[in-house]
Amino acid sequence: MEIEKSLYDNLQSFFGFDAFKGDQEAIITNILNKKDTFVIMPTGGGKSICYQLPALMSEGTAIVISPLIALMKNQVDQLRAFGGTDSIAHFLNSSLTKGEIARVKEDVTAGKTKLLYVAPESLSKEDNVQFLRSIMVSFVAVDEAHCISEWGHDFRPEYRKIRSIINEIGDDIPIIALTATATPKVQSDIRKNLQMNDATLFKSSFNRSNLFYEVKSKKNVVKEIVKFIKNNAGKTGIIYCLSRKKVEEIAEVLNINGIKALPYHAGLDAKTRAETQDKFLMEDVEVIVATIAFGMGIDKPDVRYVIHHDIPKSMEGYYQETGRAGRDGGEGVCLAFYSKKDVDKLTKFMKDKPVSEREIGTQILKEVIDYSESSVCRRKQILHYFGEKFDETGCNNMCDNCRSAKTYFEAEGDLLKVLGFIKQEGNKFDDHHIINVFLGQNNQPISSYKHDTHNLFGYGKELGLNYWNSLLRQAELSDFIKKDIDHYGLLALTEDGIKYINNPYAIKYVLNRPLENSDEDSIDDAGPSSGALDTELLKMLKDQRKKIAKQKSLPPFVIFQDPALDEMCTHYPVTIDELKQIHGVGSGKAIKFGASFVELIKNYVEEKGIDRAQDLVVKSTANRSALKVSIIQNIDRKIGLDDIASSKGISYEDLLKEVESIVYSGTKINIGYFVDEMIDQDRQDEVFDYFKSAEVDSIKLALAELGEEDYTYEDIQLMRIKFLSELGN
């Protein structure tokens, strides 16, 4: 009774909460009774209080082992703010100076410090171990305990030393291990490694009922993401990519499209990363584009969406990362893009790893593939992965698969065949092998087991791969078979499976809807060629161009080039700013000639009731190469074009092509200094006049008109660049 009373008092007075969440109270009581405690609670469940509160109430100092310095600092700051004193919580890690370390030790020894956060690396340092041996330790909390396991998504070898160090520090120190990701496999790893077999287990449900899960084929991914963010303006979200390069690229393309986004990955310096985190918390930025390094310990309750630009490497990672959405119980959309190419890429990465790691990685990845390709309720699949039974009616249409029409098939007969096969042949085969048997596909393992002569060989050939994939996946989700990820994903018959064989009943399974083919994972996919051309508008734009050309006494090609008009017909820009985003327009041209064009397009769009949101203008970074930027800078410094070419290691012809494309994309540059050197004034005037009255910008025609004996191809090309830049941009 005493404990109970002060528990509530402390919860209210220190943390300001009225009631415990979930198992918190039972967990805290357990550790206060000095029992080893194992807490499995999803992100946002409220794990921190489970060790913070008992630490405050215990004699001595609790040691909290935590993998990330940022995470520690965050928590220590919070505790100090609540407690009103700095000495109540400290951390020991490599970021501290000698003086700071002395101060920490002083406070701890004086008994002022209730929680001491330690990084696993610091924990193994001999003088720290010595120090910890000299103090009174109330208990040890191992946060993010899944870091112990290779089967988790965040393995840290130093975590494996924790047990032996605790043994050095003292006898009978209770341990509380906490994690948000525990498949049965990771769970048993943690228990084994921390030698806490008798620990009381507190496992909360992993169901996050407010999260909406969706997997889409990776097609036009950049455009899809931009569209999604624009439709969710004013909300904050996180986009995860697998590589730093992708992170940078996507952040840039979002910014070009008017979305405030910042990159975040381990390659950025600590200061930049800290600033980015702060901006995210303060909502100075809408979107963080990150590698998985972002998010751990960042308690922003109102993240409204998490997008996976690339498929995640593991279901644990996916669950953790999506778990950062909607922590306040409000809206949280989790959208992942899936492509076979990403799978290949990840598989290729693993090629260089040691065999055992590669095998583990392959099995972990296989789960993600099965999840993505299946048409079964996503929530059911996720929870099954974490060892929970879930009836999909409880999903409440909060996943894409529950919202789409499903094709069911009566599975009983074929299911019995599969289960019977495993029973007869033993738990020695993976899904791939079994499916090959049913499809009648021979290969080396099939023939070495003589399965090509088995009576089921080729039994379900005409049903096809997708059918058997669907069936095996769901036999697993029904717990009739169990995959041993430790052993190459071999499938074993379970007790439920044996029961089903003995007492079969009708059962309906869902046929997987094959995903659309994904396309090349490239930013260019938002380029000008997407979508069909609106020929009616194109004609109107060409007429307009003619009209303006006449008014200004300029040839039409100076106003806008054809590809630019084409693009206007797919993207329908209705403001000057939008017009600037069209390839080949640029800010100079847009301001100079754009007004009447956007006016025309606006009227047209209104009249026809065209839904422009369907076809957002997504500007790509593709035409802003470093080479072009450098050429422009060199021209500004009046360096000869031939010299620029040789300093860039390209031919003069190629350089002219680059300069041309700079000018054609609407950038004004002044090459007069160089032209003057190459061509005398009279001849310059002659070419200039020619282009002024020309119908088209062809160099061949110009040469024919002006005489090939007087001009070279490059002369005309140079003059055309000068002409277009002066009059057009």
Q: Which stretch binds Zn ion (CB under 5 A): 315-323, 393-401, 671-679, 682-690?
A: 393-401
Report in angstroms how near the CB of residue 489 gets to Zn ion at its nearest.
25
CA 406 remoteness from chain centre: 28
Q: Residue 477 interacts with Zn ion (CB under 5 A)?
A: no
- Contact region for Zn ion (CB under 5 A) — 163-171, 234-242, 387-395, 713-721? 387-395
Q: 244, 253, 240: which is closest to 336 by C-alpha?
A: 240
Closer CB to ligand ADP, 17 or 713, in the complex: 17
Q: Is residue 308 a contact residue for ligand ADP (CB under 6 A)?
A: no
Q: Which is nearer to ligand ADP, 299 or 359 (CB)?
A: 299
Least distance (Å) between residue 16 CB and ligand ADP:
9
208 binds ligand ADP (CB under 6 A): no
Q: Give backbone dihedrals phi and psi of 201, rounded to 5 degrees, phi first.
A: -95, 130
For 279, phi then psi, to 5°, come to -60, -35
Closest-CA residue to 169 (of 116, 228, 211, 128): 128
299 touches, from ligand ADP, Zn ion, none (C-beta below 5 to 8 Å by class): ligand ADP
Quick check: 223 and 571 in contact, CB under 8 A? no
Report if residue 299 touches ligand ADP, rule: CB under 6 A.
Answer: yes
- Pick the closer one to ligand ADP by CB: 19 or 613: 19
The tokens of 656 are what?
A: 């002219």
Choice between 383 and 540, CB closer to Zn ion: 383
Stretch that binds ligand ADP, among 18-26, 276-284, 313-321, 502-510 (CB under 6 A): 18-26
The residue written with tokens 């994904």 in the block is: 518
State yes or no: residue 76 binds ligand ADP (CB under 6 A).
Answer: no
Binding flag, residue 47, ligand ADP (CB under 6 A): yes
In whole angstroms, give the CA distance from residue 469 to residue 371.
Answer: 12
Q: Does 67 bind ligand ADP (CB under 6 A)?
A: no
Return the number of the residue (241 or 399) whose C-beta is nearest Zn ion.
Answer: 399
CB of 178 or CB of 481, closer to ligand ADP: 178
CA distances from 386 to 197, 258, 379 (A): 20, 39, 11
Among the listed residues 17, 228, 409, 449, the single contact to ligand ADP using CB under 6 A? 17
Rule CB under 6 A: say whether 43 interacts with ligand ADP: yes
Going by C-alpha positions, the residue among 372, 21, 394 that lies closest to residue 207 is 394
- Region binding Zn ion by CB under 5 A among candidate stretches 70-78, 260-268, 369-377, 542-550: 369-377
Beta-bridged to residue 306, according to DSSP, are 238, 334
3-state secondary structure 596-665: HHHHHHHHHHHHHCCCHHHHCCCCCCCCCCHHHHHHHHHHHCCCCHHHHHHHHCCCHHHHHHHHHHHHHC
Element (H, E) at 32: helix 24-32
List Cα–Cα distances, 312 to 221, 333, 352, in angstroms. 15, 16, 19
Please state the separation of Cα 44 from the chain's center in Å.
Answer: 20
Amino acid at 666: G
Stretch of 40-48, 503-511, 642-650, 662-670 contacting ligand ADP, by CB under 6 A: 40-48
41 binds ligand ADP (CB under 6 A): yes
Report the largest interatomic distance among the alpha carbons of the chain, rounded to a whole angstrom: 107
Give the shortest CB-331-to-Zn ion separation in angstroms.
16
Q: Exactly one of 7, 28, 31, 49 binds ligand ADP (CB under 6 A); which one?
A: 49
Site for ligand ADP in 528-567 (CB under 6 A): none
Q: How many CB atoms lie within 10 A of CB 133?
A: 11
Query: Which of Zn ion, ligand ADP, none does residue 45 bind (CB under 5 to 8 Å by kind)?
Result: ligand ADP
- Please, what is the minimum distance in Å from the beta carbon of residue 86 to ligand ADP? 21
Q: Which is nearer to ligand ADP, 24 or 684 (CB)?
A: 24
Which residues from 603-632 bind Zn ion, rule CB under 5 A?
Answer: none
Stretch of residues binding ligand ADP (CB under 6 A), selected from 46-54, 390-398, 513-521, 605-613: 46-54
| CA torsion through residues 549, 550, 551, 554, sign | positive
Determine, following the binding rule CB under 6 A, whether residue 472 of this chain makes contact with ligand ADP: no
Q: Helix count (H) and strand count (E) of the chain? A: 35, 17
237 to 256, contacts with ligand ADP by CB under 6 A?
none
- Is there binding between residue 399 and Zn ion (CB under 5 A)? yes
Q: Which of 40, 44, 142, 601 binds ligand ADP (CB under 6 A)?
A: 44
With CB under 6 A as the contact rule, the residue among 21, 156, 163, 340 that binds ligand ADP is 21
Residue 41 binding target from ligand ADP, Zn ion, none, CB below 5 to 8 Å by type: ligand ADP
* 46 contact, one of ligand ADP, Zn ion, none, CB 5-8 Å limit per kind: ligand ADP
* Contacted entry of Zn ion, ligand ADP, none for residue 139, CB cut-off 5 to 8 Å set by kind: none
Q: Which of 53, 55, 365, 377 binds Zn ion (CB under 5 A)?
A: 377
> 715 CB contacts (<8 Å, ≥6 apart)?
678, 679, 683, 687
46 binds ligand ADP (CB under 6 A): yes
Residue 377 touches which member of ligand ADP, Zn ion, none, C-beta under 5-8 Å by kind: Zn ion
Based on the shown chain and the rule CB under 6 A, indicate whether residue 48 belongs to the binding site for ligand ADP: yes
Q: Does 182 bind ligand ADP (CB under 6 A)?
A: no
Structure tokens at 301: 């309750």
Question: Which amino acid does the sequence have at 184?
Answer: P
> Given candidates 379, 451, 482, 483, which one binds Zn ion under the rule CB under 5 A?
379
* H helix or E strand, kind and range, residue 336: strand 332-338
Q: How far apart are CA 100 and CA 121, in angstroms?
A: 18
395 binds, among ligand ADP, Zn ion, none (CB under 5 to 8 A by kind): Zn ion
Considering beta carbons, is residue 209 or 231 the nearer one to Zn ion?
209
Q: Which does 43 bind (CB under 5 to 8 A by kind): ligand ADP, Zn ion, none?
A: ligand ADP
Residues 6+ apart with CB under 8 A from 336: 214, 215, 216, 307, 308, 311, 312, 318, 372
Whole-angstrom distance, CA of residue 392 vs CA of residue 444:
39
Nearest approach, Cβ of residue 84 and ligand ADP (Å): 18
What the block records as the tokens of 18 is: 């009225």
- For the bound state, the minimum distance from the C-beta of residue 657 to ligand ADP, rounded and expressed in Å, comes to 55
DSSP 547-577: HHHHHHT--HHHH--HHHHHHHHHH---SHH
Q: Does 333 bind Zn ion (CB under 5 A)?
A: no
Helix ranges (H only) for 411-494 are 412-425, 431-439, 444-448, 464-477
> Quick one: which of 23, 28, 45, 108 contacts ligand ADP (CB under 6 A)?
45
402 sits near Zn ion (criterion: CB under 5 A): yes
Q: Is 325 helix (H, G, I), strand (E, B) or coil?
A: coil
Which residue number, 473 or 589, has a Cβ lying nearer to Zn ion? Answer: 473
Q: Do 679 and 719 touch, CB atoms closer than 8 A? A: yes
C-alpha count within 13 angstroms, C-beta hemisphere, residue 334:
26
Binding site for ligand ADP (CB under 6 A): 17, 20-21, 24, 41, 43-49, 299, 301
Binding site for Zn ion (CB under 5 A): 377, 379, 395, 399, 402
